[in-house]
DNA sequence: GTGAAAGCGCTAACAG
DNA sequence: CTGTTAGCGCTTTCAC
């Protein structure tokens, strides 16, 4: 494979000039053109190892997730890839799923081989050692949906989303609104169970209602779990509305209601959070999170920090978009309503 | 950050010895121990750039997919990561989704920066130029679910799976069995529409039935599309069973049947292919593909080729596992049956 | 704006 | 089994 010396020879310049021309540094237009032509003719591509060794930059970005087989994370990844690939960066995935040795491997070795220029970490809860390891890297980090000291952060206001969702239900006239999701006592890999629970509770209390009594039902963030919780809940003490901590939970609730012969939204309103791929199909009213957009933003912020290493970390909180569909209505099913 | 010379100094040996000890090459046990201790004390980690430049190996594996936001591909990825991370390899994702420039970027540049030791490509249909680019790399390639000349391949026999699924239905006594999926005329990113269609058709014909008449209904590989197709199909000329080209399509069919007041499996049997995460929840009978297992196998085969570059490419066809659940029964719903 | 030359940190012969 | 010695292919001062 052709190397930089071949290109230099063909273009009639030095290797230093080739390097500059290819990296957009100072070089006359004429020289740049010659170099580019020579490189194209030879099918030359920079060796990332050599370039990385000499410059300290690798054009690789790490993306760290607790697990990748979830809608939210794959959508983040799609967004991240779309901006990073187009900027000539590769993304290396660090999937912490699986045993702890996999996790230790990532922190102890993979991350430190200096093979990345920066890191995007999503919904990761770090140990003290891990935070130290990350800081020792001296590379920019942006965190999505979770706080990492010193890192730029992008997130959504989960408590606010939960409050909005609950208020939507309240404004329709519901007073018996159950919450299905992870509670404050549930350690969640998503780091958001608490906030959504709190948002629901505070909206209930602000309306003079006792949330805790109306019912908190625990569920994991998936359809079967939402289904099981709703089955139990609806058999128990039927509320007129459910606020689901995620759309997958919400879809499970809708399915459970159907199986019990209840009509949604006439007999039961359901609102979720996410705007999952399937939510439109199920007519689920929800607060859209747009993870692909979060991923794109995170990637841009990381790129900005790479260009400007001195800059202070930012904190961007995204505003969710309310998507009213057919799963919410006034109690009794009178009229479709909006917040 | 400490470099190899620091470790050598502390251990009282040469850098070459450090390198050997760390890479599991010839070194006395005593020396290795000293080196490991010194490395641990200094928090030393190999620089992948320097190591890669000197050795030509990077300990990075590429994983190429047409898009990543699908159950099948994320499960593949999970399987791949689990074996590769534990072997000290990082995986870099090449997501071809999006515009062609993203694709050109990957083939024209990312892949060729010599930043990977090997590639796993899933369900990728390559152009002639792309195949040439891949071969020029001279790195081992394993393809999952798609043929790439000269590459080791892991796949499932799609036609066989379709035949088995159809025969299951036939053995239960069904004769009017519709196929919902991509047909032979549909260009499929999954490269499997044809085979599944053919498998269904040949099973029907072998049973003396005319598949084409019983009905082929087109659908993409997702729930809403399966739902829409089933709605149309069931309104038209009702079969007693549906063979769905994927579980997501099958789930859509089940949902459509329910909405039409049909009981599954009494009024309609449905069988799919995949064993999607949600299939157990919906009671869908299916042929399990185990993508995580396919990913692990692909990773192991790639590792084997890395260890033994001379070996001829293999072709491993996996045997699907039949999972009979509650979505299939004799026509009329008499008795639950098995194949 | 461009060339010469000195590394970046490691591995791979080659001796011994 | 271990040390010495060249590079791997690029980037980056430093002159010019």
pLDDT at residue B211 tops 80: no
Q: Which two tokens stand for residue B189?
A: 């990113």
pTM for the predicted model, two decimal places: 0.92
Which pLDDT value is given to residue B187? 41
Residue A197: name the closest of A186, A182, A208, A175 by CA: A182
What stretch of H or E contains A61?
Answer: strand A60-65
pLDDT-based confidence at A308, cuts 50/70/90?
confident
pLDDT at residue A79 tops 60: yes
**Which chain A residue has the Cα nearest residue B227?**
A281
The DSSP string of A105-167 is HHHHTGGGTT--SEEEEES----HHHHHHHHHHT--EEEESS--TTSEEEEE-HHHHHHHHHH
Which pLDDT value is given to residue A185? 47
Domain B60-155+291-317 CATH superfamily:
Response regulator (3.40.50.2300)
A12-33 core/surface letters (b: 16 or more CB in 10 A; e: else): ebeeebbbbbbeeeebeeebbe
Q: Looking at the domain covering A4-55, what would its CATH class be? A: mainly alpha
- The least confident of A5-9, A135-139, A257-261, B220-224 is A135-139
Which pLDDT value is given to residue B339? 41
Which pLDDT value is given to residue B177? 95
Residues of B in contact with A86 (CB under 8 A): 101-102, 105
DSSP-derived letter for residue B338 is -
pLDDT at residue A335 tops 80: no
Q: How far is A129 from chain B (nearest CA, A)?
A: 13
Do the domains at B4-55 and B60-155+291-317 have one common CATH topology? no
Which pLDDT value is given to residue B192? 59
A2 touches chain B (CB under 8 A): no
- The span from the CA of B252 to the CA of B249, in Å, is 5
Contact A269, A241 (CB under 8 A): yes
DSSP-derived letter for residue A312 is P
CA A178 and chain centroid, separation: 26
pLDDT at residue A264 tops 90: yes
Which pLDDT value is given to residue B16? 94
Residue B123: name the closest of B62, B64, B71, B195 by CA: B64
Structural domain boundaries of chain B? 4-55, 60-155+291-317, 158-289
**SS3 label, residue A203:** helix
Four-residue CA torsion sign, A85, A45, B140, A104: negative
Protein footprint on strand C: which nucleotides are under 7 Å from a CB?
1-5, 7-13
Mean pLDDT of B188-212: 80
Domain B158-289 CATH superfamily:
Response regulator (3.40.50.2300)
Residues near strand D (C-beta below 7 A) are: A 3-5, 15-16, 18-20, 22-23, 25, 44, 46-47, 50-51, 53-56; B 12-17, 20-21, 26-28, 30-32, 50, 53-54
Query: Is the Cβ atom of A127 within 7 Å of strand C at any atom?
Result: no
Judge: A53–B49 Cβ closer than 8 Å, yes or no.
Answer: yes
Which pLDDT value is given to residue A137? 79
- Give the residue nearest to nucleotide C11 (CA to C1'): B54
pLDDT at residue B214 tops 80: no
Residue A149: name the closest of A135, A129, A133, A137 by CA: A135
**Which chain A residue has the Cα nearest residue B40?**
A108
pLDDT-based confidence at B337, cuts 50/70/90?
very low
Q: Which two tokens stand for residue B13?
A: 């040996």
Mean pLDDT of B27-48: 92
Q: How far is A228 from chain B (nearest CA, A)?
A: 10
pLDDT at residue A281 tops 70: yes
Residue B79: name the closest of B48, B120, B111, B117 by CA: B120
Residues of B in contact with A48 (CB under 8 A): 49, 113-115
Pairing of strands B216-218, A321-323: unpaired
pLDDT at residue A337 tops 70: no
Mean pLDDT of A193-201: 85
Q: Tell me, in Å, how far CA of B17 is from C1' of C14?
A: 15
Contact B67, B94 (CB under 8 A): no
B240-268 core/surface letters (b: 16 or more CB in 10 A; e: else): bbbbbbbbbbbbbbbbbbeeeebebbebb
pLDDT at residue B335 tops 70: no
Higher local confidence (pLDDT), A243 or A188 = A243
Query: Is the Cβ atom of B136 within 7 Å of strand C at any atom?
Result: no
Contact B248, B184 (CB under 8 A): no
Q: Tell me, in Å, how far CA of A232 is from C1' of C9?
A: 62
Q: Tell me, in Å, how far CA of B55 is from C1' of C12?
A: 8
Which pLDDT value is given to residue B99? 73
> What confidence tens digit (pLDDT) does each residue in B139-184 have?
899 999 988 888 999 999 999 999 999 999 999 999 999 999 975 5
Higher local confidence (pLDDT), A203 or A26 = A203
Q: Which two tokens stand for residue B174?
A: 């069904």
Q: Tell me, in Å, how far CA of A31 is from C1' of D16?
A: 18
Query: Across chain B, where does the E strand assignment appear?
Result: 60-65, 90-95, 118-122, 141-144, 152-156, 177-181, 216-218, 241-244, 269-274, 285-288, 315-318, 321-323
Judge: A114–B1 Cβ closer than 8 Å, yes or no.
Answer: yes
Which nucleotide lies closest to B17 by the C1' atom and the CA atom?
D2
Mean pLDDT of A201-220: 86
CA B337 and chain centroid, separation: 30
CA atoms within 13 A on the CB side of A298: 36
Which pLDDT value is given to residue A177? 95
Higher local confidence (pLDDT), A45 or B335 = A45
- The span from the CA of B273 to the CA of A270, in Å, is 31
The angle subtended at Cα B174 by Cα B170 and Cα B175, nearest 5°, is 90
pLDDT at residue B333 tops 80: no
- The span from the CA of B318 to the CA of A172, in Å, is 54
A45 touches chain B (CB under 8 A): yes
Q: Which residue has the tokens 């002639």?
A: B128
Q: Which two tokens stand for residue B257?
A: 């049947």
CA B311 and chain centroid, separation: 23
- The least confident of A73-82, A284-293, B100-109, B236-245 is B100-109
Contact B216, B183 (CB under 8 A): yes
- The span from the CA of B72 to the CA of B310, in Å, is 31
Residue A226: name the closest of A206, A207, A245, A211 by CA: A245
Interface of B with A in 72-91 (CB under 8 A): 74-75, 77-78, 81-82, 85-86, 88, 90-91
Helices A71-86 and A291-307, interaxial angle, to 10°? 40
Contact B268, B242 (CB under 8 A): yes
pLDDT-based confidence at B338, cuts 50/70/90?
very low
Q: What are phi and psi for residue B188, nearest 5 degrees?
A: -120, 130
DSSP-derived letter for residue A66 is S
């Amino acid at each position: 494979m052709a190397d930089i010396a071949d290109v230099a020879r063909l273009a009639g310049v030095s290797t230093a000039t080739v390097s500059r021309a290819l990296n957009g540094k100072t070089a006359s237009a004429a020289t740049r053109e010659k170099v580019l032509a020579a490189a194209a003719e030879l099918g030359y591509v920079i060796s990332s190892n050599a370039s990385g060794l000499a410059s300290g930059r690798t054009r690789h970005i790490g993306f760290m997730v607790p697990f990748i087989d979830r809608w939210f994370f794959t959508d983040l990844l799609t967004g991240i890839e779309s901006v990073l690939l187009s900027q000539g960066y590769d993304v290396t995935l660090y999937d912490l799923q699986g045993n702890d040795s996999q996790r230790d491997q990532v922190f102890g070795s993979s991350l430190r081989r200096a093979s990345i220029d920066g890191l995007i970490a999503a919904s990761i809860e770090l140990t003290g050692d891990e935070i130290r390891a990350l800081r020792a890297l001296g590379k920019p980090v942006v965190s999505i949906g979770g706080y990492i000291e010193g890192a730029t952060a992008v997130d959504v206001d989960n408590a606010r989303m939960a409050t909005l969702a609950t208020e939507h239900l309240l404004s329709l006239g519901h007073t018996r609104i159950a919450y299905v999701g992870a509670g404050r006592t549930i350690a969640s890999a998503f780091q958001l169970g608490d906030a959504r629970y709190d948002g629901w509770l505070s909206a209930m209390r602000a309306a003079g209602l006792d949330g805790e009594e109306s019912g908190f039902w625990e569920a994991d963030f998936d359809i079967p779990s939402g289904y099981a919780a709703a089955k139990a809940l609806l058999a128990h003490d039927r509320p007129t509305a459910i606020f689901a901590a995620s759309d997958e939970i919400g879809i499970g609730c809708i399915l459970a209601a159907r199986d019990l012969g209840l009509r949604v939204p006439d007999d039961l309103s359901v609102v979720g959070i996410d705007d999952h791929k399937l939510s439109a199909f199920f007519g689920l009213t929800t607060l859209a999170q747009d993870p692909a957009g979060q991923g794109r933003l995170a990637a841009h912020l990381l790129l900005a920090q790479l260009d400007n290493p001195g800059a202070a970390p930012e904190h961007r909180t995204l505003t969710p978009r309310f998507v009213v569909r057919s799963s919410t209505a006034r109690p009794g099913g009178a009229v479709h309503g909006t917040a």
